[in-house]
Structure 1
Amino acid sequence: MTTKVAIIGPGHVGTDLLVKLHRHPGLEPVAVAGTDPDSPGLAMARELGVATTDRGVAGLVELDAFADVAVVLDASTAAAHTEHVAVLAPHERRLVALTPAATTSMVVPSVNLDQLTDGPAVGLVSCSGQAAVPIVHAISGVVAVHYAEVVASIASSSAGQGTRANLDEFTEATRQAIQRIGGARRGKAVTVLNPADPPMAMRVTVLGLVDALDDTRCAAISSSVEAAVTDVAGRVPGYRLKQDVGFRPIERDEPLRTLIGEASREHWEVAVSLEVRGAGDHLGTYAGNLDIMTTAALDVTARLGARDVESEVA
């Protein structure tokens, strides 16, 4: 049984979603909503035979195709998402936010897809969160992570208006996910728009502060991180380690005490460097930030669709 899907926001993320949905065996895009009648994303949808509206979510619910929609993928902005939740609530559709919006649950599929709740809205955090949280979770599965810091660099040309408008929300959502899903006691996130030409692939650095390590625990952390990378790469083939996991002892200075609130123990830094390349469905392969978000959206949507089928059978 095919799950019918609608997209809000035909920008870079929404267009990449459209392409991936169009070839997915169990998901079918049937409607795309935007606000610009000249949007290239809406034009592509029309070429693919998908119903469109340039009247946003208000126009979406008036489309004939909306009657068949089970899941709505919101690729707009965090600010607009609040309105979309209110408009869609009476229609009882499942809503998956690719914006860093405050929703009932946060999902990073490789970590907590099995814990997906039955609430009306699901949040996918951010591209940096999707890339980094599995790594923080892998480290925290071996040792306590007192503090984790994530620095993500994405090509400026891959960041559309929605992404640029959401940068502050990206930072906060990623920080929350580092702690709530990744397991770090404290977290910090930074997103950099890289203006390099030609564009560079998405790069993510994850730094974790942990208690003193020995060779056995270093090996266990490396194995856990490598397993997490392999798992994510099964969904996003361009996701990979740039170098071996790094370890080094660090001094117990005042900034460290401020970060982790402890001064009586020796601490080490765990450093993980990642590269994320995309499939090139919409933009070039440098835009791994699109793929890691849209692939997560497809994973969640497929799971929601499977649940609906199970409910009907029951």
Structure 2
Amino acid sequence: MSTKKKVAIIGSGNIGTDLMIKVIRTAKHLEMGAMVGIDPDSDGLARAARMGVPTTAEGVEGLVKMDGFDEIDIVFDATSAKAHEHNAGILTPLGKRLIDLTPAAIGPYVVPAVNLDEHLDAPNANMVTCGGQATIPMVAAVARVVPVAYAEIVASIASKSAGPGTRANIDEFTETTSAAIEQVGGARRGKAVIILNPAEPPLIMRDTVYVLVDAPDEDTQEQIRLSVEKMVDDVAAYVPGYRLKQRVQITEIPETTPVQTLLAEEGDDRPTHQVSIFLEVEGAAHYLPAYAGNLDIMTSAGLQYAERIAAAAAEEEKA
């Protein structure tokens, strides 16, 4: 008898399909219980059927009616922020654990490299956004050395890797990511920008992180660089294509630069240095090509969290 936890995925688009393939190919403690969509002709549902995964094209209502629904422990939601609110309203009262891959942010934020074990009991955990998963670990890496007065991230992804759900959630992306930069990354104030790059051939996901800190001496600056490099290794442990593009840059902020306009409050101390971190995220190409690192980091983070939940449950059952 299998001891793996059964999972369902709602959303048969890019993210949901990639996640399904990851669960089937790489998960140690999880197995697919259902793939859920609303388009009976979607490629995701067709692939699921070919791979022997039970499917429904009737959305969350169809999932609830499926044979084997009671055996499903965890439900990933890879739809949209608005749809997640509806899905959570149906599934939470039925006792299903939800892992939200939309920017709905109903539950606490989870970024595995930063706070993997903090919300293992949350009934509905939010995986922030692709940009958040890529950049928040870098903000946190700086914040564990010195206080971060302001952090700004710019996520640039290939237009071809952004499906309808991503495009419908641009506003939610900026709001959710900005909030998580503060709550998980530790910045006093956070800002997020996303760019859908239509270049051909498509470009690999790139992320830029700007952090304002007080770091006047060389020893502190070296500690920041080492902390960032360690965090890159931590993220790359579950997202192998995650890497620094160049050495972390730390530059003094000229007195004439009006950085006070970026601070959380008017009376906050003026930071002395800007930390610039340049990242690249190459996807594992489980579903979309390798340029879609935004897809890969999101599904990899969600899978990492679900695996930890399942592993913790197995440990409790053995005790």
Report the TM-score when normalising by structure 1: 0.97
Match of 1:285 in 2: 290
The one-letter code sitting in structure 1 at the alignment partner of 2:299 is: T
Match of 2:280 in 1: 275
How big is the shift at 1:310? 3.6
Give the whole-Å Cα distance in 1 for the aligned partners of 2:219 and 2:142.
14
Give the whole-Å Cα distance in 2 for the aligned partners of 1:291 and 1:273.
18
Give the whole-Å Cα distance in 1 for the aligned partners of 2:89 and 2:192.
29
Match of 2:313 in 1: 308
Match of 1:18 in 2: 20
Secondary structure, in 3 states, of the residue corresponding to 1:45?
A: helix
Match of 1:194 in 2: 197
Contact residue 126 and residue 174 of structure 1 kept, 8 A = yes
CA pair 67-263 structure 1, distance change in 2 beyond 3 A? closer
Unaligned ranges ≥5, structure 2? none
Match of 1:29 in 2: 32
How big is the shift at 1:266? 5.6
The one-letter code sitting in structure 2 at the alignment partner of 1:4 is: K
Give the whole-Å Cα distance in 2 for the aligned partners of 1:127 and 1:68.
30
Secondary structure, in 3 states, of the residue corresponding to 1:84?
A: helix
CA pair 42-138 structure 1, distance change in 2 beyond 3 A? same
Moved more, 177-186 or 17-26: 17-26
Alignment of 1:228-267 (within 5 A): 228-253=231-256, 255-260=258-263, 261=266, 265=270, 267=272
The one-letter code sitting in structure 1 at the alignment partner of 2:126 is: G
Secondary structure, in 3 states, of the residue corresponding to 1:10?
A: coil
How big is the shift at 1:253? 4.4
How big is the shift at 1:103? 1.9
Match of 2:96 in 1: 93
Give the whole-Å Cα distance in 2 for the aligned partners of 1:207 and 1:266.
13
Match of 1:172 in 2: 175
Give the whole-Å Cα distance in 2 for the aligned partners of 1:143 and 1:305.
35
How big is the shift at 1:10? 0.7
Match of 1:3 in 2: 5
CA pair 263-130 structure 1, distance change in 2 beyond 3 A? closer
Unaligned ranges ≥5, structure 1? none
The one-letter code sitting in structure 2 at the alignment partner of 1:93 is: K
Query: RMSD value over aligned CA atoms?
Result: 1.4
How big is the shift at 1:215? 1.1
Match of 1:122 in 2: 125
How big is the shift at 1:267? 1.5
Give the whole-Å Cα distance in 2 for the aligned partners of 1:273 and 1:129.
14
Does the alignment pair 1:155 with 2:158?
yes
Does the alignment pair 1:183 with 2:190?
no
How big is the shift at 1:104? 2.3
How big is the shift at 1:212? 4.0
The one-letter code sitting in structure 1 at the alignment partner of 2:140 is: H
Contact residue 252 and residue 266 of structure 1 kept, 8 A = no
Contact residue 36 and residue 58 of structure 2 kept, 8 A = yes
How big is the shift at 1:263? 7.7
Moved more, 141-150 or 257-266: 257-266
Give the whole-Å Cα distance in 2 for the aligned partners of 1:120 and 1:70.
11
Contact residue 251 and residue 266 of structure 1 kept, 8 A = no
Contact residue 260 and residue 270 of structure 2 kept, 8 A = no
The one-letter code sitting in structure 2 at the alignment partner of 1:97 is: D
Does the alignment pair 1:109 with 2:112?
yes
Contact residue 130 and residue 298 of structure 2 kept, 8 A = yes
Give the whole-Å Cα distance in 1 for the aligned partners of 2:56 and 2:219.
58
CA pair 263-57 structure 1, distance change in 2 beyond 3 A? closer
Give the whole-Å Cα distance in 2 for the aligned partners of 1:44 and 1:111.
33
Moved more, 265-274 or 48-57: 265-274
Query: Which string of whole-angstrom CA distances, capped at 9 and with x for unpartnered residues, describes residues 114-133 of structure 1?
Result: 11242310000000100001
- After the TM superposition, list the runs of 4 or more consecutive aligned residues in structure 1 that deviate by more than 2 angstroms: 251-255, 261-266, 306-314
